[in-house]
Structure 1
Amino acid sequence: MTTRHTYSSREFNQYVSEAKRAANEGPVFITDRGEPAHVLLSIQEYRRLQGDFVSLADALAQKGTEADFDFDFPSIDLDIKPADLS
Structure 2
Amino acid sequence: MSTEAILTLQSQIAEAKLASHQLAMGKQLIVLSYAAEGTNTQQWSPASLPALKLHIAQLETELARLTGIGGRRPMYIC
Quick check: TM above 0.5? no
Comparing both structures, which one devotes a greater share of its residues to helix?
2
Q: TM-score, normalised by structure 1?
A: 0.30
Q: TM-score, normalised by structure 2?
A: 0.32
- Higher relative CO (CA 8 A, sep ≥ 6), structure 1 or 2? 2
Comparing both structures, which one devotes a greater share of its residues to strand?
1
Bigger-Rg structure (1/2): 1
